[in-house]
Structure 1
Amino acid sequence: MPLWILTINASDIGTRTLDDIMTNLEEDFDAVSLYKNPDWVIEALMINKPLEDILEKIKKLDIKYNYKNLPEQNWVLESQKILAPFKVGRFTIQGTFTEELSLNKDIDDFVLTVDAGMAFGTGRHETTKGCLIVLQELYEKKIIPNCALDLGCGSGILAMAIAKLWKIHSVIAVDNDPMAIEVTQYNCQLNDLTDYIEVKESLGFSALNDFKKKEFDLIVANILADPLCDLAPEIYTFLSASGHVILSGILLSQADHVIKTMEKYNLNYINHKVLGDWVIIQLSKKT
């Protein structure tokens, strides 16, 4: 299937803001990312969609851009082949290609084997690392969830981290991408966690009525700022009275807006963590 990449430099967007451009791109592209090189650069990926229709919409934004076709290849898998195992706190994360851990680990470390395939979530990105760190902080504070939800699970790494930490059999992982569901199911098998984690395709909370659990003591969502804000009412509804929420995929410039939106729907801001250009926000339910 054709894979296209669109590149936009911050110096070429005129009077528009980066947030504005990204919001427009997120409507049509499969993945949108922002990084410095050394100026801000937006990259957007599109898989198996008619390029001409999208370019007509981009032209209306009146900005300069470049695009090119990429050869079909599993880029995450290719990059993993040259990446060694790594640690995030007490988590040791390795790929399926790793024959033997090449770094020292403590006896009480939690080992996660992750084959990301074409799904997001190798554990190296700041958004995922931040969630792993906050999960460990909750664990160390003796906060014990009876049931948990990984909303937009990608590779399933956060759902698996929850299952490893608390050994609870009521972890649900959902994503609207069928490929992510396949990858998560495979990773659960790799880590012997199929008895702990239920995996289901779902757009937001839409499929959760199929599960027995109607409230969660822990909800983790590493997606994007706008979808998180849209989901705020349902996050409140599905969160137990003493539950905790971890939100990620939020740029520094978007954090205040996300926090205000969540508080509007009675989700109480606890704290946040900054990793690079990204913010991880922790909330609870107002009672």
Structure 2
Amino acid sequence: MSENPTPPAPRARVRFWGTRGTCASPGPRTVRYGGNTPCVEVRGSGGPALVLDAGTGIRALGQHMQRSPLSDEAIHLFLTHRHADHVIGLPHFAPLHARTRSMHVWCGDCAEDSLPSFLATLVSPPLFPAVDGLVGQLLAHDWPEGKAVPVGEFLVHRFGAHHPGEAAIIRVDDASGPVMAYAPDNELAYADQTTTHVEWLAALREFLHGVPLLVHDATYTDDELPSHVGWGHSTTTEAVRLAVECGVGTLALFHHHPDRDDDAIERIVESARVQGTEAGSSVRVLAAWEGLSLSV
């Protein structure tokens, strides 16, 4: 009798620490999916952690990291953009206060020369009490579009999102190709048939083609979208359509509306799964929740 083959080791582990969008919304109506704003951790088989965004979810991540045996490793933070819900947790990140490690920071909507001053403002009065040495823990780097940033076994790419004030869509690759992509604030706007937008969508599909895991903005329902055109966010229906077009393995719906309760999110997921099946796709659809860990 032949033995069962050993399954391949995961290429990465992706853990969600904050999944809500716009503003934190803790309370009994958001217990299952969480009320903290965006923060996602990506780890490979070794090397430093990648942290995607620094919303309020990064506070719990920092506490977790302080309990880790790897508490002296460097941390690499990739900000999609500087809107408050994506950066407001950074001053409360425990490793910065413990002085146990430095944090390398890249940002998808500003150049290296403006990022240091922004970070200094974020962790200084009047937004945050003066803490000696805190600013020095943050090491800003330039991240122009088209430049892949090597971190351990990963290469981190960026692509311009459709979002007011600019933002980045992030793709993490390893030696075997794309591992996951992260698009928390991105208005797909399929109804826009202008040449520029159609060309942008085509380039986006190429950037995301075959990604095993896509974390994508699903802020609105179809009924809500008409009154929010131009706000920089997508519907669940649009996110599923993109995942099907790109041949994505798993779609994690993300950036849940702060007014959306757990039951409403579950109804949205059920509808999204039906949409994927009716499109003839095998894409796995779920709504990301705080504490969810996915192996890729």
TM, length-normalised to structure 1:
0.35
Q: Select the structure that is richer in helix.
A: 1
Q: Select the structure that is richer in strand.
A: 1
Larger RCO, structures 1/2 (Cα 8 Å, 6+ apart) = 2
TM, length-normalised to structure 2:
0.34
